[in-house]
Amino acid sequence: FTSPYMVRYNDRIRINGIDIPDERLAELCTKVAQCSASADCSQFEITFAIALLYFKEEDCDLVFLETGIGGLLDATNVIESPLVSVITSISPDHTNLLGSSIFEIAAHKAGIIKNQCPVVISADNDPLVIDLIKATAERKSAPVRMPDSYDCDILNEDISGTHFQYHSVRYELKMPGHHQVYNALTAIEIIRILSMHGYLISAQNVSDAFRKVQVPARIQQICDDPVVLLDGSHNQASVLALADVVRSSGKSPVILVCGMLRSKDYLTSSNILSQIADHVICVDE
């Protein structure tokens, strides 16, 4: 369960990579609408309810839920005892709702931590943010696991992906950028926790997945000649990651086609992107 959708509404809800079919989406939407409480729910909450019904009816073994905004007040908190909670890299976003400082945002993100449920923290977070999350976890007696980034070596990288080694195991990652290596390390630690619950995912499974996985519109290469990248960056951290990948690629000239909602940090983003672009084409909302 993810949001927002990338191509069509259905891709928010997927089982084994397959979008919920139109007829099931319509059927479950009708069922949720018949509940009187739905009148006071947001679109996200209604979609989340549809997703939970779908996953339950399909008898899923494992369900991965992405929060909507923040975590503390998020609808996904109805899950009281997840196998593991995950906090990825935190950067300023949705500041009108979560707060203007990175620590206010981190406090909201830490709201997904549940009593005695393990939590995995991405290693590329600010040390003070990590301390805040660990303090929250300690109050809730939640074990904390964080990847050992010092045991990770990037062997080589280019616009087509990254080769790295972690705990003496070599991996090939299709998605480029240092930030995706941190995401991969986080995934590896999540899988280790899942193995303690009997979900045995082999190192070969992980290696095969890393070579293939491509999240749509996340520095996605959609053409080889010329090289064309599609990316949905809209905050400082994600735009910096995009700029690093483009800069390290050595490709030129760089022609940027850019459009961004006014609710996003377009001023900071534009300043960063202006440093890597030779030509810029702007589009409106």
The whole-number pLDDT of residue 102 equals 78
pLDDT of residue 99: 55
- pLDDT tens digits for the chain (285 residues)? 998 898 899 999 999 999 999 999 999 999 999 999 889 999 999 999 999 999 999 999 999 999 988 788 889 999 999 999 999 988 755 555 565 677 888 888 899 999 999 999 999 998 989 999 999 999 999 999 999 989 999 999 888 889 999 999 999 999 998 889 999 999 999 999 999 999 999 999 999 999 999 888 899 999 988 999 999 888 888 899 999 999 988 888 999 999 988 888 888 899 999 999 999 999 876
Q: What are the phi and psi torsion angles at 171 (to 5°)?
A: -135, 150
Task: Output the pLDDT for position 100.
Answer: 61
Place of tokens 């951290």: 237
pTM for this model (two decimals): 0.90
Residues paired with 169 in a beta bridge: 166
Tokens 């991965």 sit on residue: 64
Whole-angstrom Cα distance, residue 41 to residue 234? 26
The confidence score (pLDDT) of residue 98 equals 61
DSSP class per residue in 234-249: -SHHHHHHHHHHHHHH
Residues whose CB falls within 8 Å of the CB of residue 53, separated by 6 or more in sequence, listed in order: 28, 31, 32
Q: What is the pLDDT of residue 237?
A: 84
**Cα–Cα distance between 3 and 65 in angstroms, integer?**
10
Q: How much is the pLDDT for 121?
A: 96
